[in-house]
Amino acid sequence: MQTVTLRDVAQAAGVSPATASRVLSGNPATSAVAREKVQAAAAQLGFSPNAQARSLRSTRTDSIALLISDVRNPYFADLAHSVELAARELGLVTFIGNANEDPEQQDEFLGAMLSRRVDGVLAVPQGLGDASHATATPALERLLARRIPTVLVDRTLPEVPALSVTAESTQAVHDAVGALHELGHRRIAVIGGPEHTSTAQERYASYAAALQAHGLPLDERLIFHGDFRSATGAEGARWLLDLRQDPETCPTAVLIADSPMAIGALAVLREAGVRVGTDLSVVTFDEIEAFALHDPPLSTISHDVGAMGRLAVEALASLLNGEAAVSAETAGAAVGSSVLRSEFTLRGSIGPAPGAPTAAPTPTPTTVKTTPPGPPPAT
Amino acid sequence: MQTVTLRDVAQAAGVSPATASRVLSGNPATSAVAREKVQAAAAQLGFSPNAQARSLRSTRTDSIALLISDVRNPYFADLAHSVELAARELGLVTFIGNANEDPEQQDEFLGAMLSRRVDGVLAVPQGLGDASHATATPALERLLARRIPTVLVDRTLPEVPALSVTAESTQAVHDAVGALHELGHRRIAVIGGPEHTSTAQERYASYAAALQAHGLPLDERLIFHGDFRSATGAEGARWLLDLRQDPETCPTAVLIADSPMAIGALAVLREAGVRVGTDLSVVTFDEIEAFALHDPPLSTISHDVGAMGRLAVEALASLLNGEAAVSAETAGAAVGSSVLRSEFTLRGSIGPAPGAPTAAPTPTPTTVKTTPPGPPPAT
DNA sequence: TTGTACGCGTTATCAT
DNA sequence: ATGATAACGCGTACAA
């Protein structure tokens, strides 16, 4: 691991370290001769600049960190992909870190990135409070205290003043519940996310609002709290099967708050012989490629993850350029956040409610976009 | 972004920078008083050591890089997860990078990691040769030239002497083809991977060997070359549908070389009304959670990704400790590599060949493990 | 046990 | 256009 330094290159090229540095970092104040000699020497010696030393002087590292909450969730994989692409466009390298839905792991990664002086951070944050209003973890606090350009993505922490890019689903859930209602569904269950995340909260709230708007009662017994991972989706499905034993509470439809839970739940339902779209209508949040495996096609509530990633990078870039320094001053909660709108897509996993008295003919609600399933285009 | 330095901490604690440094890096030569004062000051000021400066002197960074070829491939997401866990166990932070199946993007990431002086690198490598024997990209070459501890995971590059952890599937494919053969299948198609990857090569070779072992002819017309991504899986399925028009070449079964291609292909097949397991038997490589969405359950050829990740981290750790320095000396090809064995799992996506004369009763091959489908346990 | 001084590899500044 | 020199933040040999 003998290190080739700038001095070595300079010496080999017969110039001073300063000149070598200028050539290699594209400083225009160089002669053609010097340029050639230095570049040849660098190539010959296999020189790669020591970024540590470099950014020790220049403070820029041309890299950002992306903290996601679960690598194995396809939704976040998609997010990572779009962030990386957008960042690359701007000449930034992205370091992906996985919090694994664990505040400690989040802080380890953030700490490491903090030490490495990344130019900025994109984070799907883990909060710290057990209950309703989660606060920032220590590393996150330091990040903000140090005024390191930071943008929260997908989720927010209510008490943390930071730029954010999120999605909201009130209208979409309203549409979904409306479609179900028209088909005769009256008891719509939810397999939801962990209550300490803003996304889960938002989805519960949209659900409650939609029920009310359609004149349906909110029944706490129809709500299952999962953790956004497949195992609890499966649990939720078993809970649902139990619920269906009792004709009084028996739900005829279910909303599932993310794709891993949907995968877990649908596997259990199929094993139990429940026919999706006939015995039970299903709407799931997020839209991932693997949903193409399911028959009937799944009705979804989703937003454009690619757009979310790009927006987040844009927001971060503007912070990096010091543009939005003002908004960082703004006290209070959400600071200059962008919100994407989710959309409801009606597909075959929704059908007439089993016990309903001759439901409406065919489900053709006009407010709702109907997209054919099938493999999405390549990128 | 005012930086809190060690000097600031020292000053606040009323000691010299040296003492502060000693305290914060756990040097035993410190007094209890100093320790307390320094730690208090550090906490108070929110000091986080500048890793750049630190490793400029000390060379260890307690971090490794993991380069994967496609974040959106669930198989690699699983790999990333297991690597991260194993590394964490050893006190190492993992930086995940995405090559996106693109040598250039690989080199950008590797270059950045090289500059950041990670202690070691785990890589699912992109090769450079267009055809049969791919060689290392420039960044990969430098990595090895600099003798930075490196382990190739999942794939190898034939010409690159490096430790590797891979899987092999000869026996598993033999079992799969055997099961199909018993059920009367004679024309088994393949939707394979890009020929420049070692995994795709290995799978083609296993396929050819298995055909021969079961007395079936190798027909080039039954082989489709994809690129491990879903779009080409869909293409492959369309190609397969065409092939089925001609009764002479019509395949009754297909092997798909990875899960994204399987997702793409199965969506097309379903849309075309082809009944998997009845009209067409399907075996797919890799085993991902989302496969639980498919009915009938998919027969798979897969290995333990978790184990692969752990093995890779172990191998890297031994290099970090200088243990395997010897093997790095060994000239020639594969150096001290581990190879995992894939297994075939028979499930409902396989059935009797449509045109076959009263096939064997029920498929109960003794050499084959039969696992019920369903959601895997949580982690 | 503690402080002083130097160097890690690079770039910015100031001369020339 | 180029070179000498200082400084980035930290660890450590050496002296005290």
pLDDT at B131: 61
Confidence at residue B308, expressed as pLDDT on a 0 to 100 scale: 98
Cβ separation B266–A234 shorter than 8 A? no
Q: What pLDDT score was predicted for residue B375?
A: 43
Residue with more model confidence, A135 or B132: A135
pLDDT of residue A54: 83
Q: How far apart are CA A34 and CA A202, in angstroms?
A: 60
pLDDT score, position A337: 85
> pLDDT by residue (tens digit) across B55-86?
777 667 788 999 999 999 999 999 999 999 99
pLDDT band (50, 70, 90) for residue B363: very low
Distance CA A74, CA A84 (A): 15
Smallest CA–CA distance, residue A292 to chain B, in Å, is 5
Q: What is the CA radius of gyration of chain B?
A: 26
> Angle between the A305-320 and A74-89 helix axes, to the nearest 10 degrees?
40
Q: What are phi and psi of B58, to 5 degrees?
A: -100, -10
Q: What amino acid is encoded at B372 in this protein?
A: P
Give the CA B52 to C1' D13 distance in Å: 22
Is residue A187 within 8 angstroms of chain B, CB to CB? no
Residues 6+ apart with CB under 8 A from A284: A255, A256, A258, A259, A262, A291, A298, A299, A300, A301, A349
Buried/exposed A131-140: b ≥16 CB within 10 Å, e otherwise:
eeebebbebb
Distance from CA of A216 to the nearest CA of B (A): 31
Q: Name the residue among A80, A117, A264 with its Cβ closest to that of B50.
A: A117
Confidence of residue B1 (pLDDT cuts 50, 70, 90): very low
Q: How far apart are CA A270 and CA B295, in angstroms?
A: 8
The secondary structure element, H or E, covering residue B259 is helix B259-271
B6 C-beta neighbours (distance < 10 Å), count: 19
Q: How confident is the model at residue B377 (pLDDT cuts 50, 70, 90)?
A: very low
| Residues contacting residue B49 through CB under 8 Å, at least 6 positions apart | A115, B6, B24
- For the CA of B378 and the C1' of D12, the distance in angstroms is 47
DSSP B102-170: -HHHHHHHHHHHHHTT-SEEEE------SSSS----HHHHHHHHTT--EEEEE---TT---EEEEEE-H
How far apart CA B112 and CA B127 sit, in angstroms, is: 18
- Shortest CA gap A214–chain B (Å): 31
pLDDT at B57: 77
pLDDT digits (tens, 9 = 90+) for B185-196: 999 999 999 999
Is B328 a residue whose pLDDT tops 70? no
The CA-atom distances, in angstroms, between A148 and each of A247, B3, B70, B90, B157 are 55, 10, 29, 29, 40
Give B150's pLDDT tier (boundaries 50, 70, 90): very high
In sequence order, what are the beta bridge partners of A255?
A190, A283
Range with lowest mean pLDDT among A156-170, A202-216, B229-243, B323-337: B323-337
Is B56 in contact with A51 (Cβ distance < 8 A)? Answer: no
Angle subtended at Cα A343 by Cα A342 and Cα A345, rounded to the nearest 5 degrees: 145
Amino acid A257: pLDDT: 98
pLDDT at B49 over 90: no
Residue B48 to residue A230, Cβ atoms within 8 A: no
Estimate in Å the CA B20 to C1' C4 gap, whole number: 14
pLDDT above 60 (res B360): no
- Alpha-carbon span B218 to B206, nearest angstrom: 12
Mean pLDDT, chain A cut into blocks of 10 residues (379 residues total): 80 91 88 91 86 79 93 98 95 93 93 86 89 82 87 92 95 98 97 95 97 97 97 98 91 98 98 97 98 97 98 93 50 65 98 72 45 44
State whether residue B339 is helix, strand or coil: strand
Instruction: Determine the pLDDT at residue A364.
Output: 45
The beta strands (E) that lie in chain B are given as 63-68, 93-98, 120-123, 150-154, 163-168, 188-192, 223-225, 253-256, 281-285, 299-302, 338-341, 343-345
CB of A174 closer than 8 Å to CB of A209:
yes
Q: What pLDDT sits at residue B332?
A: 39
B135 pLDDT exceeds 90? no
Condensed to tens digits (0 to 9), the pLDDT of residues B275-287 reads: 999 999 999 999 9
Q: List the beta bridge partners of residue A338.
A: A165
Supply A36's token pair.
Answer: 């050639």
Measure the CA–CA gap between B290 and B293, rounded to whole angstroms.
Answer: 6
Strands B343-345 and B299-302: antiparallel
For position B365, what pLDDT does the model report?
44
Q: What is the pLDDT of residue A82?
A: 98
Do A260 and A230 contact (CB within 8 A), yes or no? yes
* DSSP state at residue B3: P
Q: With the C-alpha atoms ordered B332, B335, B341, B342, is the resulting torsion angle positive or negative?
A: negative
**Residue B240 DSSP class:** H
At B130, the pLDDT band (50, 70, 90 cuts) reads low
Residue range A178-191, pLDDT digits in tens: 999 999 999 999 99
A148·B1 Cβ contact <8 A: yes
Alpha carbon distance A300, A280 (integer Å): 15
- B233, burial (CB in 10 Å: exposed 0-12, middle 13-18, buried 19+): buried
3-state secondary structure chain A: CCCCCHHHHHHHHCCCHHHHHHHHCCCCCCCHHHHHHHHHHHHHHCCCCCHHHHHHHHCCCCEEEEEECCCCCHHHHHHHHHHHHHHHHCCCEEEEEECCCCHHHHHHHHHHHHHCCCCEEEECCCCCCCCCCCCCCHHHHHHHHCCCCEEEEECCCCCCCCEEEEEECHHHHHHHHHHHHHCCCCCEEEEECCCCCHHHHHHHHHHHHHHHHCCCCCCHHHEEECCCCHHHHHHHHHHHHHHCCCCCCCCCEEEECCHHHHHHHHHHHHHCCCCECCCEEEEEECCCHHHHHCCCCCEEEECCHHHHHHHHHHHHHHHHCCCCHHHHHCCCCCCCCEEEECEEECCCCCCCCCCCCCCCCCCCCCCCECCCCCCCCCC
Contact A290/B293, CB-based, under 8 Å? yes
Task: Please check whether residue B214 touches A, CB under 8 A.
Answer: no
Residue type, A250: C
